[in-house]
Amino acid sequence: MAKEKKENLIQRPPIVVVMGHIDHGKTKLLDFIRKTKIAEKEAGGITQSIGAYEIIHPSASSGQVQKITFIDTPGHEAFSKMRGRGARVADLAILVVAADEGVKAQTLEALEHIKSAGIPFVVAINKIDKPEADVTRVKNELSQNGIYLEGMGGNISYQEISAKTGQGIKELLDLILLAADLEELKADPNALCQGVIIESKIDPRRGISAVLIIENGTLRIGDEIATSSARGKVKMMEDFLGQPVKQISFSSPVLVVGFENLPQIGEQFSAGKMISVSQSENILSPNKVGPTEALSLKKTIIKLILKADVSGSLEALIEIVKSLENEDIGIEIILAEVGDILENDVKLALSSSALILGFKVKIRKGAESLVRIHEIKIINSEIIYELFQNLKQIIKEIPKEGEVKGILEILAIFGKKNSKQIVGGKMLEGKFNKGAKLEIWRQSLKIGEGKIINLQVKKLDAIEVQAGEECGILLDPDVTIKVGDQLKAVL
């Protein structure tokens, strides 16, 4: 039986991950290979989601045309997990290093992912067309970090290239196919179809879709498909060009529509006719992306609702949020989901005083109306580092422990005349004094300032109000105060 299975094995195309520091030219390299201009279309000029593509290239050894599957991974530090997952799916890696900048932080991080995955790699020294290019310096820096190239005391192949002009790219592809031949990559087209989920999203028109890399077997329309977190039936498939296909085999990336719930990125899948639950449970292992928990000992807790276009982006958002916690600030993610910002998300933000953070998503009409009525600020961007900087700025503005003299939550609005407003609330901590300057906060954001003109406790004028007491306040804010807002007296 084992002999029969061995005889069914045939050569399969290599799956190659392209890795390196941000802006060192990974996507431009693939653009030249595929004759596309993806890099120019990327928001902010960087790849912000994992991509998979196929090309064909004549083998230098056999002369026959061979297929290569490339996985493009983001370079920004927020996408570290996505890069690691790309390396684990791949058979080989290309480590891209810019000749004008040399070895950088994400270069070394990419190398660690490659080592952890245990896959061979070649080095592409890119941007040799630039006047500042210094290939010798790059080689020395690589040696200093344990990457010993051929001719420099090691056996790691390298190629000097220009993703802009195309110089050296043919030779780089030759190196990849040579390395793949040495790996003797084999698979069985008739075996149970297996592979990895590399991305998933909720499509408003088609429902749940996922991008898969097939590692063995053949996937067909109508096949049952399962991961450890999701099941379904393949209703529609598209190849990497977006063309519909009825079946597709190993090493190929494919978009699948038909999952009943959103599969988690990084999960293994299995597929076939009437696949059993026990089969999928034995094969699959979960790698779920979930919200972080707030640390109750933190002084100030920021509540967040995270929405992203795809699972990989959501994962990156969670990583950003986690990285910004410190000894003074705790972050509670009350919802982390793939999909556009909906009316229910805004209602949840209102009821929980949470800030909505959106990455590459739209605000639906129903949600837009609520946002306008309640003057809610949503941080929404298509560029990951813009979100990162905006969130950092919000955290920077939050008073540290010992700086806050008092905090009051607004429970009622009693009236407004000209620039002055009468509000009622309860002191949550500390105290307020008549004449104190206040900051006005909504959804973890400072939205304005004001000054206490008069204080009343139990309908009597007062000089101060203490923690636990309810009071009325006459103040002159520079924004309209609403129920649920907080007033903070800062030292």
Q: What's the pLDDT tens digit per position in 102-115?
A: 999 888 988 888 88
- Contact criterion met (CB below 8 Å) for 474 and 422: yes
Question: Among the CATH numbers 2.40.30.10, 1.10.10.350, 2.30.38.10, 3.40.50.880, which is that of 193-283?
Answer: 2.40.30.10
Question: What average pLDDT does the chain have?
Answer: 83
Fold match flag (9-187 vs 300-397): yes
How would you classify residue 83: left for phi > 0, otherwise alpha for psi between -120 and 50, otherwise beta?
Answer: alpha
Distances from the Cα of 66 to the Cα of 12, 238, 248, 317, 323, angstroms: 9, 21, 16, 38, 43
Q: How many CB atoms lie within 10 A of CB 467?
A: 14
- Contact criterion met (CB below 8 Å) for 451 and 475: yes
What is the length of the chain?
491
The CATH number of the structural domain formed by 9-187 is 3.40.50.300
Write the pLDDT tens digit of every residue in 299-334: 678 889 999 988 888 888 888 888 888 777 888 898
The residues, any chain, with a CB within 8 Å of residue 203's CB and separated by 6 or more, are 209, 257
In this predicted structure, the answer to whether residue 136 has a pLDDT above a threshold of 60 is yes
| Confidence at residue 74, expressed as pLDDT on a 0 to 100 scale | 60
Write the pLDDT tens digit of every residue in 376-386: 788 999 888 88
> What percent of the chain shows pLDDT beyond 90?
36
- Contact criterion met (CB below 8 Å) for 198 and 52: yes
Tell me the pairing of strands 268-272 and 224-226: antiparallel
| Confidence at residue 1, expressed as pLDDT on a 0 to 100 scale | 35
Closest among 145, 148, 149, 144 to 160, alpha carbons compared? 149
In this predicted structure, the answer to whether residue 269 has a pLDDT above a threshold of 50 is yes
Say which CATH architecture domain 404-490 belongs to: Beta Barrel (2.40)
Helix 80-89 with 311-323: angle, nearest 10 deg:
130
The DSSP H or E segment spanning 84 is helix 80-89
- The DSSP output letter for 78 is G
**Dihedral sign for Cα atoms in the order 40, 45, 47, 48:** negative
pLDDT band at 363 (very low <50, low <70, confident <90, very high): very high
In this predicted structure, the answer to whether residue 77 has a pLDDT above a threshold of 60 is no
pLDDT band at 286 (very low <50, low <70, confident <90, very high): very low
CA atoms of 245 and 238, how far apart (whole Å): 6
Strand-pairing partners, residue 308, are 338, 359
- Contact criterion met (CB below 8 Å) for 261 and 208: yes
In this predicted structure, the answer to whether residue 337 has a pLDDT above a threshold of 70 is yes
Ordered by start, the domain boundaries in the chain are: 9-187, 193-283, 300-397, 404-490
CA atoms of 240 and 303, how far apart (whole Å): 38
CA atoms of 263 and 260, how far apart (whole Å): 9
Superfamily of domain 300-397: Translation initiation factor IF- 2, domain 3 (3.40.50.10050)
Q: Token digits for 296?
A: 């109750």
| Confidence at residue 9, expressed as pLDDT on a 0 to 100 scale | 85
Which tops the pLDDT comparison, 86 or 277? 86
Closest among 129, 141, 136 to 28, alpha carbons compared? 129
Q: Is 328 helix (H, G, I), strand (E, B) or coil?
A: coil
Closest among 188, 199, 189 to 247, alpha carbons compared? 189
Q: Is 310 helix (H, G, I), strand (E, B) or coil?
A: strand
- The DSSP output letter for 44 is G
pLDDT band at 45 (very low <50, low <70, confident <90, very high): very low
Q: Token digits for 55?
A: 């090309």
